[in-house]
Structure 1
Amino acid sequence: MQYLIMAMETADEFAEREDPERGPEYWAGWEAYLAALAESGVLTGTGGLHPPATSTTVRLRDGQRLVHDGPFAETKEQLGGYFAIEVPDLDAALEWAARCPAAARGAVEVRPLMTPEYYASTGAG
């Protein structure tokens, strides 16, 4: 089954990325996690995101496109990156989520992916 592990990070963690003193330790944790996912063969995709301040939110209202700088939600934790994995079940996905560096200070959200096989099983695809 395929799952998406979403790493939710705090403002401090986003700041660590660019900090000359704290950055190397920050990135070392992520590099080790990514290497473990890749070496195990469960990783199917990944990507990191720039800080929330770089985001743009788009809404369509009454046929008009409304564009706002910044993230959609004002929360303590924002999406910092994701890892798509293929594992036997939710328990295995949760094990990988617990190993994610964001779990120690931010949060990690895990969701099943709606794959082409899923859509085919529902008659939608």
Structure 2
Amino acid sequence: MAEYMILIFDDEATWAAAAQDEFDRMLTAHNRFAEQVVELGGKIVSGHALQPSPTATSIRGDVVTDGPFAETKEALGGYYLVEAEDLDKALAIGKLVPVLNGGVEVRPIMVF
């Protein structure tokens, strides 16, 4: 099976303003997502939420800058590394990732 990185982009302001019950609902949805991956014949290899974008440090050449490189409405908030039969299955898995107000990007892992 091939590996695919699913990058989760969402509106950090929406998450910051979310009530505890909304946060709990999303955690439950992510737990259900893990079950759905298996149901689709895939496997989660790894996955983590990231600290908010102000904690990021960007490096471009020799220049180190506090914070993300670019201001955007949606920020990279986490990822899943999954194994899937093919891109179609990986996209089916990606469509199941819970987000409050954003989307995901699915990319195959390059094999050397």
Range class of TM-score, shorter chain: 0.7 to 0.9
In structure 2, the residue corresponding to 1:29 is in which secondary structure? helix
Runs of 4+ displaced beyond 4 Å? 38-41
Matches for 1:114-125 after TM superposition, within 5 Å = 114=110, 118-119=111-112
Tell me the TM-score normalized by structure 1. 0.75
Contact 1:45 1:83 in 2 (8 A): yes
Letter in 2 for 1:109: E
Matches for 1:53-64 after TM superposition, within 5 Å = 53-61=54-62
Tell me the TM-score normalized by structure 2. 0.82
In structure 1, the residue corresponding to 2:13 is in which secondary structure? helix
Aligned residues: 110
Contact 2:42 2:84 in 1 (8 A): no
**Aligned residue number for residue 106 of structure 1:** 102
Q: CA RMSD in A?
A: 2.1
Which ranges of structure 2 fall in alignment gaps of 5 or more residues? none
Query: By percentage of residues, which structure has more helix?
Result: 1
In structure 2, the residue corresponding to 1:47 is in which secondary structure? strand
Letter in 1 for 2:37: L
Distance across 2 between alignment mates of 1:84 and 1:16? 28
Which ranges of structure 1 fall in alignment gaps of 5 or more residues? 120-125
Distance across 1 between alignment mates of 2:29 and 2:81? 18
Distance across 1 between alignment mates of 2:52 and 2:29? 18
Higher relative contact order (CA 8 A, sep 6+): 2
Aligned-pair identity in percent equals: 35
